[in-house]
Amino acid sequence: MKNNFIKIRNYLYLKAFKFLIGFERFSNNGFALNILSTDFIDDPYSTYSSMRSKKKIYYSSSTFLHWVTNMEYVQDMLRNKDFSVDDRKYSIAKRRRKELIKDGREIMLDQFDNPSILKLDPPDHSRIRKLVSYGFTNRYISSLESEIKKTINECLDKTHDESSFDLIDALAKPLPAIVIAKMMGLPNEDLNQFQKWSEDLLLEVGGITSSEIQRKKARDAYEELIRYFERIILERKDNPGDDFIGKLIQAEEEGDKLNVKEMFGTCLLLLVAGHETTTRLIGNGLFTLFKHPEQFNHLKNNFDLIPNAIEEMLRFEPPVHATVRFAHDDMIYAGKKFKRGTAFAISIAGANRDPLANKNPNEFDITRENIKHVSFGYGPHMCIGAHLARIETKLAFETMFDRFPDMKLIDKNPEWGKNFIFRGFDHLEIKAN
Ligand code: HEM
């Protein structure tokens, strides 16, 4: 009975979505943003380009979002205090709370009301970010280099006897997960479990085709992760140690400390932000190089170009395609009126391909100078883990080129994941030699 109800509801959602796409097409001279279409999943960039050339801020009725795809506005909105990340303040929160209560998700509700820095505005954001940053200095991250290199080799050693392997399973997925787990002092045996939790968690974030089952999986994973960190942090309170969680427990700034809920939020954020994104950067970057064989060959013989190539990978195929901001108050912006709480999709991928930011933006060029991208965000919420992600990716490419200089892509057209926020591959089959 319940299954039939869900089927009917999904059918009606799809009908409503198609109707809204039709309406958008009708009001935009035949153009619409259709995040479900295979054309969009394969190449979202041409859609962003059309949106950018049509309007400074493009309203899409099927996503109920105002999309910003040009670099100037994206950067301005990411640093402008008139735009907020804190969805608790706006009418959208009422719906979310109601939904979580109906679903019996008290733990998630509590976390929604005590979010991580990603969802906090100043002054709480500035206060907590300062404390979190203590565990994330460039000096400390750089000191992890040899450990990271060792981990990369251990991951690749496991493919030793195989002439072909899945690069995502073998390296891109485990590497950032192992590194963040080690940084946080989490037990090795928990690795597979929390990797699975954080994968499941994303099924509800930007999942283009999230089904009821996927949503349940995502929410179960969220609750398990909160319980997991709750246990670890409480166990460690009296004996913090000197890993990242220990540093978080001890971090103090002018008498201020993180409370237990702030610590859960931070750990959860770091775990998810810390590896899903880097996994995608390694996969997207390698795939793009395979699509440009002359640059692949040039790079494998010129390791000093790898840092610049990584910036170009970040610009060209960013792992995080979009983030959200809300109008703090009723306002006029870019010549248009917006109501308090209006939601904007800040298109990182769109901004990176803005021709006013980068010349010939649709060309991939590892030697490009003055690369302008917002793939790690911009302004007060700029990514805390950027240095770590860059080091992991640099060492991953150096080691792959060293060990498999003649590697080839087996499936030339692997499928992009169906997620319009996190873009990347679930699998990338490589012939090693
Ligand atoms: C290629 C890898 C990565 C990408 C593309 C990436 C991307 C981003 C972006 C776009 C934001 C800003 C979101 C917004 O303004 O709404 C962000 C924030 C953040 N990232 Fe990353 N990230 C990566 C890796 C990491 C790693 C390795 C960590 C930590 C281990 C991390 C931790 C964070 C945290 C804590 C924030 C929130 C900062 C704040 O709100 O003040 N990220 N990241």
Q: Which amino acid, one-letter code, is at 292?
A: H
265 touches ligand 1 (CB under 6 Å): no
pLDDT tens, the chain, 433 aa long = 556 666 666 666 777 778 888 888 888 878 899 998 999 999 999 999 999 999 999 999 989 999 999 999 999 999 999 999 999 998 888 888 888 888 778 877 887 888 899 999 999 999 999 988 877 889 989 999 999 999 999 999 999 878 899 999 999 999 999 999 889 888 888 888 878 887 787 776 665 555 777 888 888 888 888 889 888 888 888 888 888 888 888 876 666 788 888 888 888 888 888 888 999 999 999 999 999 999 999 999 999 999 999 999 999 999 999 999 999 999 999 999 999 999 999 999 999 999 999 999 999 999 999 999 999 999 999 999 999 999 999 999 999 999 999 999 999 999 999 888 999 999 999 998 7
Closest C-alpha to ligand 1, atom 8: 376
SS3 state at 234: helix
SS3 state at 75: helix
232 touches ligand 1 (CB under 6 Å): no
Q: How far apart are CA 18 and CA 416, in angstroms?
A: 22
Q: Are 351 and 74 in contact (CB under 8 A)?
A: yes
Which mutation among 269, 272, 277 tests ligand 1's pocket best, with the greatest number of atoms within 8 A of CB?
A: 277
Give the distance (Å) from ligand 1 centre to CA of residue 385: 6
First vs last Cα of the chain: how many Å apart? 54
| pLDDT tens-digit readout, 266-275 | 888 888 888 8
Which tokens is 208 given?
A: 């283009």
Closest C-alpha to ligand 1, atom 1: 278
Give the distance (Å) from ligand 1 centre to CA of residue 389: 9
396 touches ligand 1 (CB under 6 Å): no
Which mutation among 276, 344, 383, 421 tests ligand 1's pocket best, with the greatest number of atoms within 8 A of CB?
A: 383
DSSP for 351-406, please give it. Answer: HHT-TTTSSSTTS--TT-SS----TT--GGG--TTHHHHHHHHHHHHHHHHHH-TT
Q: Are 400 and 407 in contact (CB under 8 A)?
A: yes
| pLDDT tens-digit readout, 324-344 | 999 999 999 999 999 999 999
Q: Are 316 and 364 in contact (CB under 8 A)?
A: yes
Q: Which pLDDT belongs to residue 274?
A: 80
Give the distance (Å) from ligand 1 centre to CA of residue 277: 8
Q: Which pLDDT belongs to residue 265?
A: 87
